[in-house]
Every structure is written in C-alpha cells, then in structure tokens.
Structure 1
Amino acid sequence: MDQQDTQTLDCKPASGIADVAPISKLIFSVTKQMRRVFEQQARLQDMTLPQWRALGQLVQSNGLSQAALSTLIETDQMTTSKILRLLETRGLIERLPDPADSRAKIVRATPPVTAMVEAMKAVAGELHETMLDGISEADKEVLVRSLNKISDNLAGQSDRQKDADK
C-alpha cells in the first residue's frame, strides 16, 4: 500500500472548490484500495478481477446473455467476449443456445464455480467488516445516504449532459 493510500484525508470545510476535492480524492482512494484487495484475491484463484466479477454475476443470475453480462460488469462486448473465452477454456463457463433467440447464447457458470464464488463472497464480507470497523450504525446510515445522494447527483448530471448533447 502506498503512502497516499494510508493517510487520512482532511475533509474539513474550506472555501470554494477545495470543499469537494478532498471528498473526491478520498472516495477514489477507498475505491482503489478495495479494488486492490479484490484483485489480490482474484489472483489467488488465477483470475483477473473482471473474470471474477463475471463469474459472480453468472452464478447469481444462473445464466445471462453476453450483452446483459457486459452491462452488469460494466465492460464492452469485446472485453466481455475475451473474458468469456478465457473462462470457457478453463471449463468455468458454458455457452448454451438461447431458447428465445436461436442466434444468441446464454452463458452459465459450471458447477465448480459455485465454491469459487462463495470464497469471493467471504472475501467481500471480510473486507466490508474491516472497512466499517469502529464506525457507529448512525454514521454508517449517514455514509450510505450521503453516497447515494452523490450517486444520484452524478446520475442527474449525466442525464442533463445527455439532454444537452441532443
């Protein structure tokens, strides 16, 4: 972990743009640290984080189209296709004909993947507990509300930008 990741950022009110920058930096830093932990765990399973995410979605849904999976793991179709090719080569997924569309395939995780996904869930649970250690329930509620509001604000900004681009 580098020095920047371990330091606590001072988010005391200032004036102007400085009010937002420390919060943004902190959100980015926490996200980066979480990603690093999950990537380390994925490597222990001889996988990448995107492969692990794909398997998690496939187990949870009991099968998806490649397009739906791309949306859920937030990758483009080409990247998803590459991920699936590697997973299929390892026998971790199978592609089956889509009963609703003869041109499409449904991607499903094979039975051995369930244990891998359970290990992934355990890692996520441990990370969640570690992240929130020492934070009161009231503070957790404020944090969740605040992050949801930030997300809503950004989604609204994105929607407004889309409207402006039309």
Structure 2
Amino acid sequence: MTADDHAPGPPQQVGADEESLAESFWAVTRRLRHLSRQTLEPWEINPGQARALGVLVRHGAMRLSALAEHLRIAPRSATEVVDGLAERGLVARHPDPVDRRATLVAPTDEGLRVGAAIRAARHAEAERLFGGLDPTDRVHLARILRTLRD
C-alpha cells in the first residue's frame, strides 16, 4: 500500500459538494423571498416595510435610530422605510415625551391590524414551505439554521 492509497478524495469532489450545498441553500432562499413577496401583495407592502412594521408591533414606539438598529440598516434607510409606512397610514410619528427634539415612530391601529395579518400569513406560508418535512427534520433544520445565523 502506498501513501496515495490513503489520500482523501480529489479536491474537486469536496468543492463540488460544497457548491451543491450552497446552490441548494440559495435556491431555497430565492423561493422563500418569492413566497414572501407573494404573501405581502395584498397589503402592497415590501419585505423591508413588513420587517419594520413587525419590529414596531412587537416592541412598540421607538426612535428611528433604534428601529434602524433592530433592522440592521442605516438610519437614512429607516427613514425611507418609515416614510413608506406612514404614507399607507400604518405608522405615525410623535414627539418623544422625554426629549421633544426627538421623534418616536409607532404603529397606528391599522398598522397593528395589518401587522397581525402579515404575521398570520407568514406563519401559514412557513407551514406550507416546511410542512413537507417530518418533525425531526424540522428540529434539525432549525438547529442548523440557528448555528449558521449565529
């Protein structure tokens, strides 16, 4: 037996496996994005606006800078997102009672209603997408995704 008999497989094979995994992951990501856009169509809201509304529904009124931090976007981008939501009547700006120079953004009653409807629709969308997995696979996938996220 030579040393070559114990050598690992060719590097191309490992790369091909990794590429296949990455491509599969991106394909699922594209599918999820497409489903998300479809789910949001009835409310004429984009995914960034839906995320911002969700943060405001969960956490209540906050400054734009805090919203930008939650969304991990630039404050200028948060302003644009909030402007779009305000035009639809889903959020409103109010003076901060602690610092009158600052402004708080809060969901309106309509924003709370739409936020709850979007959350329910997204839950149903996720059930359709992941419902084909058996419970054990779902637990493993959730663990793997949390590991990759963190």
Q: Give the TM-score normalised by structure 1.
A: 0.74
1:52-88 Cα distance to aligned partner (Å, 9 max, x none): 2211111111112111211222322222111212222
1:107 shift after superposition: 0.6
- How many percent of aligned residue pairs carry the same amino acid? 27
Alignment partner of 1:102: what SS?
coil
Cα deviation per residue 1:3-47 (whole Å; 9 max; x = unaligned)?
xxxxxxxxxxx8322222222222222122111122123232122
> Which is bigger in relative contact order (C-alpha 8 A, separation at least 6)?
2
* 1:76 partner amino acid: A
Q: Which runs of 4+ in 1 moved over 3 A?
A: 99-102
Equivalent of residue 131 in structure 1, options 114, 129, 132 = 129
Structure with higher Rg: it is 2
Partner residue in 2 for 1:24: 22
d(CA) in 2 for partners of 1:50, 1:73: 9
C-alpha distance in 1 between matches for 2:64 and 2:26? 29
Unaligned ranges ≥5, structure 2: 1-11
Per the TM alignment, residue 90 of structure 1 is displaced from its structure 2 partner at its CA by 2.8
Residues 76-115 of structure 1 mapped to structure 2, 5 A cutoff: 76-115=74-113
